[in-house]
């Protein structure tokens, strides 16, 4: 990096949760090899067969809440960065798990929604959920059965909190994408927005995804992210102490 950033935006994808035991989407054994996107991750799929869609998310929610699933050192390092970095910081995740929050991150933008929330399709009210959702379940607001859906963003729907994300991308001077393949827009275009507004861009991934970042760190997120966060925080502390000395 050319200079110490004052404003950082981080985008995470499924790769950051892989070492916690949650499957990514596009690996050879990933979720989209075992399920058709059209069936389980579109509004049309839900209209056609809501039981199948509920089963897909209920299974993933049970796994998320099961014992072996816990945050890994990459999640913990990003929580530390949020707490200790002196500049502006925004963590945006495409993940619908809660591992960033469980690691201690306070301010997480879940642009693709959250697995532990459900929504009434009539009132748009959002409720916490830890058990299963079913088509027989009556909604707490309208009292009707069949109106509840997972509070997740499906293909063809608008991701959440986009104005806030775009504003932060336009202001940041460092954008980092961690563990995402860059296949799904609008998230796949975030580094372009940041770069057009003067930011440096970095990718941390098992491999170079070929998406045109300025810098790449290749390796497992659980190893690479804590090391990178330590370097960034040390540089941030040095900058603060040298500006106090002036
Ligand atoms: P993908 O499955 O497309 O990509 C995961 C990325 O993580 C790949 O580039 C891997 O190389 C990388 N990776 C895997 N293990 C890693 C590790 N231990 N350390 C570092 N990197 C690792 O997942 P996403 O890019 O998150 O959207 O997918 C984006 C969106 O596509 C998801 O949010 C979901 C999906 O369809 C919706 O469902 C709307």
Pocket test residue of 150, 181, 225 for ligand 1, highest count of atoms within 8 A of CB? 181
Confidence of residue 128 (pLDDT cuts 50, 70, 90): very high
Confidence of residue 239 (pLDDT cuts 50, 70, 90): confident
Pocket test residue of 53, 110, 157, 180 for ligand 1, highest count of atoms within 8 A of CB? 180
The region of weakest confidence among 25-39, 85-99, 189-203 is: 25-39
- Given this model, what pLDDT does residue 195 score? 98
CA of 1 to the centre of ligand 1 (A): 25
Instruction: Report the interhelical angle of 221-244 vs 73-84 (nearest 10°).
Output: 20
- Given this model, what pLDDT does residue 142 score? 87
Distances (CA, A) of 71 to 87, 117, 145, 232: 25, 19, 35, 21
> What is the average pLDDT value for the chain, to the nearest integer?
95
- The values of phi and psi at residue 203, to 5°, are -120, 135
- How is residue 52 annotated by DSSP? H
| 149: β partners | 119
What is the rounded CA–CA span in Å between residue 215 and residue 57? 35
- Ligand 1 pocket, Cβ-based, cut-off 6 angstroms: 13-15, 18-19, 24-26, 30, 41, 94, 112, 153, 155, 179-181, 183-184, 205-207, 209, 220-221
- pLDDT tens for residues 23-73? 999 998 899 989 999 999 999 999 999 999 999 999 999 999 999 999 999
pLDDT at 101 over 80: yes
Proportion of the chain above pLDDT 90, given as a percent? 90
Nearest CA to ligand 1 atom 18: 220
- Given this model, what pLDDT does residue 140 score? 87
Identify each DSSP E strand in the chain by its residue range.
7-12, 88-93, 108-110, 113-120, 126-128, 148-152, 174-178, 200-205, 215-218
Q: Which sequence positions are flagged as catalytic?
A: 112
- pLDDT tens for residues 131-151? 999 999 999 888 889 999 999
pLDDT at 165 over 80: yes
Environment class of residue 69 by beta-carbon count within 10 Å: exposed (0-12), middle (13-18) or buried (19+)?
Answer: middle
pLDDT at 9 over 90: yes
Dihedral of the alpha carbons of 119, 120, 122, 124, in degrees to the nearest 10: -40
Confidence of residue 211 (pLDDT cuts 50, 70, 90): very high
CA of 242 to the centre of ligand 1 (A): 39
Q: Which atom of ligand 1 is nearest to the CA of 180?
A: 25
- Given this model, what pLDDT does residue 246 score? 66
Cβ-proximal residues to 245 (8 Å cutoff; 6+ apart), any chain: none
Confidence of residue 103 (pLDDT cuts 50, 70, 90): very high
């Amino acid at each position: 990096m050319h200079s110490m950033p004052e404003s950082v935006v981080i985008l995470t994808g499924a790769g950051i949760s892989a070492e916690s035991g949650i499957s990514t989407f596009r690996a050879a054994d990933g979720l989209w090899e075992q399920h058709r996107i059209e069936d389980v991750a579109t509004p049309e799929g839900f209209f056609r067969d809501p039981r199948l869609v509920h089963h897909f998310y209920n299974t993933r929610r049970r796994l998320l809440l099961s014992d072996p699933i816990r945050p890994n050192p990459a999640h913990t390092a990003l929580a530390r960065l949020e707490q200790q970095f002196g500049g502006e910081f925004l963590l945006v995740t495409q993940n619908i798990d809660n591992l960033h929050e469980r690691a201690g991150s306070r301010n997480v933008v879940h642009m693709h929604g959250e697995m532990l929330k459900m929504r009434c399709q009539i009132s748009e009210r959002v409720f916490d959920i830890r058990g299963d959702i079913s088509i027989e379940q009556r909604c707490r607001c309208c009292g009707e059965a069949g109106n509840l859906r997972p509070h997740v963003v499906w293909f063809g729907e608008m991701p959440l909190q986009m104005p806030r994300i775009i504003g932060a991308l336009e202001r940041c001077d460092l954008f980092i994408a961690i563990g995402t393949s860059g296949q799904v827009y609008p998230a796949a275009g975030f580094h372009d927005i940041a770069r057009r507004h003067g930011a440096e861009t970095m990718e941390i991934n098992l491999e170079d995804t070929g998406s045109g970042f300025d810098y790449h760190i290749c390796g497992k997120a659980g190893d690479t992210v804590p090391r990178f966060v330590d370097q960034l925080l040390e540089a941030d502390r040095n900058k603060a102490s040298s500006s106090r000395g002036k």
